Amino acid sequence: MAIFVDENTKVVVVGLTGTQGSYYGLLNRSYGTQVVAGVNPKKVGTDVQGIPIRASVADAVAQDGANAAFIIVPASVAGDAILEAAAGGVPFIVCVTEHITMHRQAEVFNTLKRDYPNTRLLGPNCSGILSAGKCNIGFTPTNVAMPGSVGIVSRSGTLAYQSIFELTQKGIGQTTCVGIGGDPVPGTSFIDCLRAFQADPETKGIIMIGEIGGSQEEEAAEFIKSNVTKPVVAYIAGVTAPPGRKMGHAGAIISGSKGTAKAKMEALSAVGVRVAQNPTQLGDLMAEALASV
């Protein structure tokens, strides 16, 4: 199985007529993802290599059966696009757009929670989601992935890609790789993904990749302690980051003693998670964890 998306997912790409949207939308389609429509109200009646352009996500839902939206538009309009997709009736939205202001992210998050509680947002500023051999929405490279039994959830897209590579090198395939993004107000959390992986019978082990800043990893550790019986391997990026300086992602900032890599690693180790000292260890530690099950 897979979590959130699979071979039956039908994707509408908001931004398909743009340079980046067409590139990644068509790349996702080439993997086998069902990209059924694009959205641009000014180009209704046209197509992008056979993919019809609709006036709205609601039209793509009604006419093409879309049940997921891939949003790849500028930050100035991305918040509106997310809410329009939710109003259009898709239950799963992936937004890869970066530089959405924290205030706007909070507005969108709370509007979704209040008005569209059955809609899941992945992102913003995330790498997307890959269910190996079934569906890819976003940026995750597919040439290093193979179907298998390990789920991955990561704040960092690049480290998610490396973890896929490390696993594949060991002959260990993946169920789903979820890039939740590194912004301060993520639509989907570590806990959301851990819960889904725990419930998925085909996922036998979980890799969790965090980074400095915030308290998501510590909260995930508490969740793992009480709710996750499958082996978890983790890596926390930013061990050498100085306090008070933003490192890459908008959410990756240490405040005093809070949000440090050391604190996160200790919290995870305390609940039985195998914690890697560098990302190249992820494959080895997962192989060991699966062998001990």
Q: Scan for tokens 């789903």, then name that residue.
A: 176
Alpha carbon dihedral 59, 63, 66, 72, in 10-degree steps, equals: -40
| Catalytic residue check, 249 | yes
The half-sphere exposure of 206 on its side-chain side, counting CA atoms within 13 A, is 30
Give the Cβ contact number of residue 284 at 10 Å. 15
224 Cβ contact partners less than 8 Å away, ≥ 6 residues apart: 194, 232, 268, 271, 272, 273
| Residue 195 amino acid letter | R
Q: Scan for tokens 């039985």, then name that residue.
A: 272
Distance CA 136, CA 145 (A): 11
In the set 54, 120, 249, 274, the catalytic residue is 249
For residue 216, report the phi and psi dihedrals to the nearest 5 degrees: -60, -40
279 Cβ contact partners less than 8 Å away, ≥ 6 residues apart: 159, 162, 163, 166, 209, 235, 237
CB-CB contact of 123 with 96 (8 Å): yes
Distance CA 35, CA 240 (A): 41
Distance CA 48, CA 22 (A): 7
Residues involved in catalysis: 249
